[in-house]
Chain A
Amino acid sequence: MALDVFAPWDNPDAKPLIQFKNVTKRFGDFTAIDDLTVDIFESEFFALLGPSGCGKTTMMRMLAGFETPTEGTIRLAGEDIAPIPPNKRAVNMMFQSYALFPHLTIWDNIAFGLKRDRMPKGEIEARVDEMLRLTRMEQFAKRKPHQVSGGQRQRVALARSLAKAPKLLLLDEPLGALDKKLRQETQFELMDIQEKTGTTFVIVTHDQEEAMTVASRVAVMDHGKIVQVSTPDAIYETPNSTYVADFIGDVNLIQGKADPKGDKIYIAWAEGQPEIVGTPMSDFSHGQDVHFAIRPEKVSISADKPEGAANAIKGKVLDIAYLGNISTYHVELPGGQVIKAQTANNRRISRRSFTWEDDVWLSFTDTAGVLLER
């Protein structure tokens, strides 16, 4: 049975819910968003990922209506939203600080937006109860926000922003204030709720693991521009630049000159070292600068030179990081470059095959790494 894959971005007929078209936002001399164009589709869980100051929060605040673009247009369901004030938008936001009203009970916090819409009393009650059930907060309805724990406050904030059944829900670093374990649990809860309600979620985060876990697509941002938009696995396996490769997860970057031979490219990267063989995604000309990016888990480490490996480089163990489930070896190559190689500790043995200062061989296939132009 073939699963119907959710990928409206690959369908040229799909109509996006949100369209950013050549949007620029400046604050005085500072350009927060720089000529940005992106489409976000209905029922997507879209993550804006980037370091602080990259413009991701500005994008979100423009969607919510707290900022207006300096240039360009933002459309929501085909309509230009620039002139619409925040209180008239079918968009709700979950704030980083949760922004729960401290003088109201949790019940009244959730009902706040519904009351503004002059919804009949019975309907408000039914809707609030539904939200409380969804976030498993029924027994806390009568409490004030300061009488519940941080994780519970986070759920109330989510319930409040979902209560009006917005077309689009914005989440500004929603899990930032939670500790790691609770954050991981809540990530799955968020995905669950997103699936149940079918609402389009746009999440802002600087935590790449969080973006990878929850999102259907991730946009990696830098200096007001989107560097790459793609599914989490594509972002991880085929980053389009060294910036993305480096920002998402761990990566080894080797710089060299390209030498195309057939459908492979040979990279001369250090004097006296064998060339690295890789499979390119795009064309490289002879002698062009090339960055070879390879994830540590795709590099094998062995004591003897492996037979038949496409690439094998000799080095010396410089450092070992034991993380329980995996170990990361930092191996110094003769040229001084350090390559990280990861192995899963799938056997419970106290004896390690290698130790500091051991000579080892690093090997990887000719499709393990990515060749990047920049």
Chain B
Amino acid sequence: MKRFSWFNATSLTLGFAFLYLPMVILVIYSFNESKLVTVWAGFSTKWYGELFQNDAFLDAAWVTIKVAVMSSTLATVLGTMAAIVLVRAGRFRGRTLFSGMIYAPLVMPEVITGLSLLLLFIGIGMDRGVFTIVLAHTTFAMCYVSVVVSSRLVSFDQSLEEAALDLGCSPFQAFRLVTLPIIAPSVISGWLLAFTLSLDDLVIASFASGPSATTLPMKIWSSVRLGVSPEINALSTLMIGVVAAGVITASLVSKRAATRQQREERAAARLA
């Protein structure tokens, strides 16, 4: 299996190139001295410096983070509640319809979601700004959270909650002290998913926002229409870095937890 094969090497290279070449080019050009994006004029970090002087970008970044934190938190609460109802309530009239309606926004075209939200906000006369973007992001992110959490809840041993009740917990205490700590990893990953979805959403945010609020993706999109600047490259590189760091940390943490559990279980089995 270890034998080198030209065919494998080529397909691997081509595949990865297809995936990552655009990003690599973007990262390289963010360190370009020249103002012209397509002409290389030597290594420099000056665009990073200018980026942090640019108030418009910093404001947009701040709005984006605010929106992402608020909407993903709200979506996590609502999505977890929906997941519990879906998994626990058993059979009730319209269960299929209800669960279908929870998952439908996952496949709904963003343009339609955005447009309908815009119409709603105009219809009820709501001023568009940070708050409306938070609402819009919560709407679609909670579906993702509910999918992630309900897949964990399906394998959750119901007798754990019954044991908590049996030992004197009220139903709410049983949820807080037993269910929530056990499903916490899936709730956290649901939150992270909602956070990233909100962070990079352009379409829905464009529909739901007003003149007072601009998110980072919206800002990037509007500046690119006036021409790509090296500043944008620098900004995008930073975003790639943040996302990559987050993903790698999350996977390392969960992998280490899994191996530790395995080791301990093996030790217990030896003891028996």
Q: A and B bound?
A: yes
Name the residue of chain B whose CB is nearest to the CB of A172.
B159
Interface residue B169 (Cβ < 8 Å from any Cβ of A): yes
Q: B160 and A148: CB pair below 8 A?
A: no
B52 to chain A, nearest CB (A): 42
A101 at the binding interface (Cβ < 8 Å): yes
Given the complex, which residues of A lie within 8 Å of B177, measured CB to CB?
112
> Which residue from A96, A112, A148, A151 sits with its C-beta under 8 Å from B167?
A112
> Does B163 lie at the interface of the complex (its beta carbon under 8 Å from any beta carbon of A)?
yes
For the complex, give the distance between the alpha carbons of A151 and B159 in Å.
19
Q: Once bound together, how far apart are the Cα atoms of A232 and B168, in whole Å?
A: 34
The answer for the CA separation of A148 and B173 in the assembled complex, in Å, is: 27
Q: B166 contacts which of A64, A102, A149, A150 (Cβ < 8 Å)?
A: A64
Tell yes or no: B182 within 8 A of A by CB.
yes
Contacts of A285 in B (CB 8 A): none
Which segment, of B141-149, B203-211, B259-267, faces chain A?
B259-267
Residue from A87, A96, A146, A147 having most chain B Cβ neighbours under 10 A: A87
Tell whether B227 is near chain A: CB-to-CB under 8 Å. no
Consensus secondary structure, chain B interface: helix
Q: Does B151 contact A (CB under 8 A)?
A: no
CB closest chain-B residue, reference A149 = B272
B55 partner residues in chain A, CB cutoff 8 A? none
Say whether A87 contacts B165, CB under 8 Å.
Answer: yes
Among B245-270, those with CB < 8 Å from A are 261, 264-265, 267-269
CA distance A147 to B178 in the complex (A): 19
Contact across chains for B167 and A113 when beta carbons are under 8 A apart: yes
Residues of B within 8 A of A152 (CB): 271-272
Nearest Cβ on chain B to A97's Cβ, whole angstroms: 5
- B182 closest partner in A (C-beta): A103
Interface size on A, residues (CB 8 A): 32
Question: Hey, which chain A residues are within 8 Å of B269, CB to CB?
Answer: 149
Contacts of A151 in B (CB 8 A): 272
The contact of B271 among A87, A88, A144, A148, by CB within 8 Å, is: A148
Residue B127 lies at the interface, judged by CB distance under 8 Å to chain A:
no
Inter-subunit contact A146/B265 (CB<8 Å): yes
Q: Which of B159, B268, B272 contacts A146 (CB 8 A)?
A: B268
Interface assignment of A10: CB less than 8 Å from any CB of chain B: no
Report how far A117 CA is from B166 CA in the complex, Å: 12
- Is A116's CB under 8 angstroms from B169's CB? yes
Neighbour of B267 across the interface among A95, A117, A147, CB < 8 A? A147
Q: Are B170 and A87 in contact (CB under 8 A)?
A: yes
Query: Would B167 and A116 count as touching, CB distance under 8 A?
Result: yes
Residues of B within 8 A of A146 (CB): 261, 264-265, 268
Task: Report if A87-B169 is in contact (Cβ < 8 Å); known contacts: A99-B157, A144-B264.
Answer: yes
**A99 contacts B162, C-beta separation under 8 Å:** yes
Residue in A91, A102, A151 whose Cβ sees the most chain B Cβ within 10 Å: A102
Instruction: Look across to chain A and name the residue whose beta carbon is closest to the beta carbon of B173.
Output: A116
Q: Which residue of B lies closest to A153 (CB)?
A: B268
Closest 7 CB pairs of A and B: A149-B272, A113-B167, A116-B168, A99-B163, A99-B159, A86-B165, A103-B181
A-B contact pairs, 24 of them (CB 8 A): A64-B162, A64-B166, A65-B165, A66-B165, A86-B166, A87-B165, A87-B168, A87-B169, A92-B166, A95-B163, A97-B159, A99-B159, A99-B162, A103-B181, A103-B182, A112-B164, A112-B167, A116-B167, A116-B168, A146-B264, A147-B268, A148-B271, A149-B268, A149-B269
